[in-house]
Amino acid sequence: MVREGEEHLQFRSVEQVTEDLAAAGLAVDRVWSDWRGRPFDGAEHPLMIIEACPQGARPVHPPWQDDAGHT
pLDDT of 5-57, one tens digit each? 777 777 788 899 999 999 999 999 889 888 888 888 888 877 889 988 888 87
| 19 assigned to some structural domain | yes
Residue pair 21/27 in contact (Cβ under 8 Å)? The answer is: yes
Q: State the Cα–Cα distance between residues 55 and 33, nearest whole angstrom.
A: 23
Q: 68: pLDDT confidence band, cut at 50, 70 and 90? A: low
5 assigned to some structural domain: no
Residue 23 lies in a domain: yes
What total number of domains does the chain contain?
1
Distances (CA, A) of 60 to 37, 38, 68: 15, 18, 11
User: What local confidence, expressed as pLDDT, does residue 64 receive?
Assistant: 53
Tell me whether residue 68 is in a domain: no
User: Whole-model pTM?
Assistant: 0.63
Identity of residue 26: L
User: For residue 62, is pLDDT > 80?
Assistant: no
Give a yes or no: residue 8 inside a domain.
Answer: no
